[in-house]
Amino acid sequence: MVIPIILLVVGFVVLILGADWLVDGATSVGIRAKLSPLIIGLTIVAFGTSLPELIINVFSCARGSSGLAIGNIVGSNIMNILLILGVASIIYPIDVSRISIKRDIPVGFLATAALFLMANDFFIGDSHTINWIEGLILLLFAGGYLYLTMVKNESPSTEVEAVQIPMPWGKTILLLVLGVGGLYAGGELVSRNAQIIAKAWGMSESMIGLTVVAIATSLPELITSIVAATKKNSGIAIGNVLGSNILNVFGVLGISGLITPLQFDTQMNITLGILFVANLLMLLFVFTGKGRKLSRFEGFLMLLAFAGFMTYTIISA
């Protein structure tokens, strides 16, 4: 068990470095393209931090472990909201833009509803699976969301304007490549060795999908949002989470459904309900208190909710 633990630690280090590089490179691209931090988080950073979920799901589907693939996405999305936004808002209160309230948060609800309806055979099929047709529909949703995101782009905010000069293109591209590569390599190291450790401790596959794998694949979002929060760049922090959650369902599950039918355990409906409540809790906190923001106290409450979710998952498993 010594080698997996060492590789787990190495994975954490690589993730931290990759996240820092990616945030710097993405911010530089955003400055040149005159994008707001929110849009940077919703597109460039969200795609980069969703790569571990995508890679692990592709590998899982190829091995026939499609149940683990769905558990990975649902668990990751819950953790993105309750854990990552909770931690990030404790570090630095997160301002939520009007466009996120009108577009990104509702699309997050839509993604959860679409997953629930498809998995429970409200559209196509009768065997509690997400087939290739539904996978294609999810990918069309992903394309539509990305198009809407770029068309409805806000004017650059003061957060972007605060950075005076973008980095040279060579350094920007290098940081983006190193950042995405670091996130992929770190996520792979952490997830693979976390699974080894979990299996050695006798954890079931469903529990691994909802906890260990979900936590491991959520680490890029966690580290990236923490780095963004410490730099007081709340637009990237929340854009990263919202964009990643939407791309996880529409993009990652869409691609996974094209590879192989995704078997859905109906007991997962309870977890989908928890994901819906997590989205609702985030929306509620945005409209409470002063301004449209997630405060430190609300971040603490989200962490308590995450602890409750983990306790429920472990007990039920």
CA geometry: angle at 305 spanning 314 and 37, to 5°?
Answer: 120
Mean pLDDT of 69-76: 87
Q: Is the per-residue pLDDT at 21 higher than 60?
A: yes
Give the model's confidence band at 206: pLDDT under 50 very low, under 70 low, under 90 confident, else very high: low
What span, in angstroms and rounded, lies between the C-alpha atoms of 93 and 145?
27
pLDDT at 148: 83
pTM: 0.79
pLDDT at 273: 94
Domain annotation for the chain: domains and CATH numbers: 2-316 (1.20.1420.30)
pLDDT at 187: 75
Overall residue count recorded for the chain in this entry: 317
Give the model's confidence band at 162: pLDDT under 50 very low, under 70 low, under 90 confident, else very high: very low
pLDDT at 126: 63
Exposure class string for 108-125: b at 16+ Cβ within 10 A, else e: beebbebbbebbeeeeee
Q: Is the per-residue pLDDT at 161 higher than 50?
A: no
Report the share of the chain in percent with pLDDT over 90. 26
Residue 285 class from Cβ within 10 Å (0-12 exposed, 13-18 middle, 19+ buried)? buried
Give the β-pairing of 129-130 and 262-263.
Answer: antiparallel
| Average model confidence (pLDDT) across the chain | 82
Mean pLDDT of 264-274: 88
Cite the DSSP H helix spans in 41-131. 46-62, 66-79, 85-91, 98-99, 105-119
Spatial contact of 202 and 55, defined as CB atoms under 8 Å apart: no
